[in-house]
Amino acid sequence: MSFASMNRRNFLGATALAGAATVAGPHRARADDTVKIGFLAPLTGDVAAWGLPGLYGCEIWAEQKNAMGGVEIGGATYNVEIVSYDNEYLPDKARTGAQKLIAEDGVSFIEMLGGDTMPAVTPIANRAEMLVSTLLPSDLSPDTPFLVAPAEVHPIYNLTGVWWMAENMPDAKTAVICAQDDAIGRPSVATYLAAFEAHGVEVKDTIFFDISTTDFAPVMTAMLAHKPDILCLDTAYAEFVNELCKQAFVQGYGGQIVSCTADFYADIIANTSEEFMDGVIFQFPDFDDPALNDPRINFDDPNGFFQTYNERYPGQWGAVSWEYASILDLWLDGARKAGSIEPAAVLEGMKQGGKGAHAFGEADWWGEELFGIDNALVGDWPVVQIQNGKAVIVEFKNIPEWWSEHGGTMIEHFEEMGEMWYQRA
C-alpha cells in the first residue's frame, strides 16, 4: 500500500496498530529483560539496623548495574529490580512476604537477614525451589537445600577478633559475655565461648537479657562485678551495643571491649568518649578502608561505594550496608556461570568447583560439620579496631585455618548451647 493511496480508514487503522505495537512492544521487552530480586528483611522495628541499610546498598548496586546497561546473563541483558518487603523480624510477616515475592512478584532470588524469621520461610522456599540467602549461617541445615550464606559467616567470624586479641593483647585473660536471648545471640555466645577457650581466656560469666530490655545498667553491673579484662558484647543489636557501651562508660570500665558489630560507632563515641572507645574490636569495616583496595577483594570499588552510600544516606552506614550488595555480586557470578536466572541453576553456578568469590577474597563452600550442609562461603574475615575515632582493619584472619585446629571446641559449645543443626531441627 503506497502512502499516497492510504485513505482515512487505512490511516487510522495503521496508526492504531502502530500505537498498539509502540505501547505493547517495549513493555513486553522490558518485562522480559528485568530480573527481580526479593529483599525480605526487617526495615522497621528493633532489628531494622540489619535490614534497611542493606536495602540501601542493594539499591545502589542495582542502580549502578542498570546505569551500565544492565547485567548480562546467558546471552540476555537484564535490568535489576529490587522488590523489598518489610518482615519487621516477625516470622508471620516473613512468611507472607516470601509468598508475595515468589507468587506475585516473580522474583528469582530472595535476600534475607534470617534468624528467627527463617523457619517460617524455609517450607515456602523449599516448595518453590527458591534460592534464598541469609546473613546467618546458623539458619543452615540439611533441611534448607536452597538456602545459602554467601556473605556473612555469622557468628563464626567472631572468632577472628578473639584470635587477634590473644596474639596482640596477651594480658587479657578473663572475659564476661552478654547477649540477647534469641537466634542471633545464642550461636554467637557459643562462638565466643569456643574462641575464648581456644585462646586461654577464662569466661567468668555469660549473661542473657531479653530483647525488650531498655535499661542496661543492671546488665552492666552484673558484668563488671566479675572485674573482667574483656567485655564481650556478643552480637547484640546495634542499639544494645550503644547502650551497653554507655553503661560501661558510666560505671567506670576501663578494659578491652569486643563486639561483633559497632554499628553507628560515631554515635557511641558521642555518647561516651573517643578515649573510651579507642581499641574496641569488632568485625565490620568501613568501606573507605585502604585495606579493601587489595586485589584479592571481590567488591567493585569499595571506596566509591562507601562514598556514594554516605552521600545518599548520611550516618546510615552499618554492618550490613555492603553485605546484601556483595551477595548480589555472588548471585550474579552464579547466574553467569549457569547462563540462567533460574534459582536452582544459579545455586549450582554459585557452588561450582566448591569455591566462590567472597567479598574478602576467594572462599570455600563449607559448613557440613557445623550446619550439616556446605552452603556457607567461608574464607578470610577482617578484624576491625576503633583507632582515634575511626574503624580500621587491623588484620584479615583465615577462618578455615582456625577451624582446622579448634573446630572440635566450637562444635562442643554449639552442642552445649543447643545450636547444632540436629538440635535445632
Give the total of residues touching another protein (CB under 8 A).
Answer: 35
Inter-residue contact 384 to 391 (CB < 8 Å): yes
**CA 256 to chain CA mean position, Å:** 26
For 209-245, b/e burial (b = at least 16 CB within 10 A) is bebeeeebeebbeebbebebbbbbbbbbbbbbbbbbb
Looking at 12-20, 215-223, 339-347, 409-417, which segment touches another protein (CB under 8 A)? 215-223
Contacts of 157 (CB under 8 A, 6+ apart): 283, 381, 399
Asked whether position 213 contacts another protein by CB under 8 A, the answer is: yes
Asked if residues 411 and 372 have their Cβ atoms less than 8 Å apart, the reply is: no
Is 219 a binder of another protein (CB under 8 A)?
Answer: yes
Which strands make up the sheet holding 380-387, listed edge to edge?
A: 202-209, 174-180, 230-232, 256-258, 281-282, 380-387, 390-398
Least Å distance, CB 139 to another protein, is: 22
Q: Which of residues 313-332 bind another protein (CB under 8 A)?
A: 316
Interaction residues for another protein, span 134-173 (CB under 8 A): none
Taking the alpha carbons of 407, 408, 411, 417 in that order, is the dihedral positive or negative? negative
Q: Which of residues 233-262 bind another protein (CB under 8 A)?
A: 239, 242-243, 246, 249-252
Residue 86 CB, nearest approach to another protein (Å): 9
C-alpha neighbours within 13 Å on the C-beta side of residue 311: 8
Q: Pick one of 209, 396, 403, 421: the residue that binds another protein (CB under 8 A).
A: 209
Residue 146 C-beta: closest distance to another protein, Å: 30
What single-letter DSSP state applies at residue 103? I
Burial class (CB within 10 angstroms; exposed 0-12, middle 13-18, buried 19+) of 91: middle
For the record, the C-alpha cell of 329 comes out as 555480586
Which residue among 207, 344, 345, 392 contacts another protein (CB under 8 A)?
207
Nearer to another protein, 170 or 218 (CB): 218
- Closer to another protein at the Cβ: 118 or 223? 223
Q: How many beta carbons lie within 10 A of that of residue 283, not counting itself? A: 23
Q: Which of 215, 362, 401, 415 touches another protein (CB under 8 A)? A: 215
**Contact between 218 and another protein per CB under 8 A:** yes
Rounded to a whole number of angstroms, the minimum distance from the CB of residue 273 to another protein is 10
In sequence order, the 6+-apart residues with CB closer than 8 A to the CB of 329 are 61, 298, 299, 300, 357, 359
Q: Mark residues 44-73: x for contact with another protein by CB under 8 A, - for none.
A: xxx-xx--x---------------------
Spatial CA neighbour of 421 closest among 348, 375, 369, 349: 369
- Return the half-sphere exposure (C-beta side, CA atoms, 13 A cut-off) of residue 348: 9
Please say which residue, 122 or 321, places its beta carbon nearer to another protein. 321
Shortest spacing between CB 214 and another protein, in angstroms: 4
- Closer residue to another protein (CB): 243 or 323: 243
Report the run of H or E that residue 99 belongs to, with start and end: helix 91-99
Residue number, 7 or 214, with CB nearest to another protein: 214
Q: Is 312 in the site for another protein (CB under 8 A)?
A: no
Under rule CB under 8 A, residue 174 binds another protein:
no
Local structure of residue 149 (DSSP, 8 states): B
Name which position in 32, 104, 210, 311 contacts another protein (CB under 8 A): 210
Q: Taking CB under 8 A as the rule, does residue 271 contact another protein?
A: yes
Binding residues for another protein (CB under 8 A): 43-46, 48-49, 52, 181, 207-210, 212-215, 217-219, 221-222, 225, 239, 242-243, 246, 249-252, 267-268, 270-271, 316
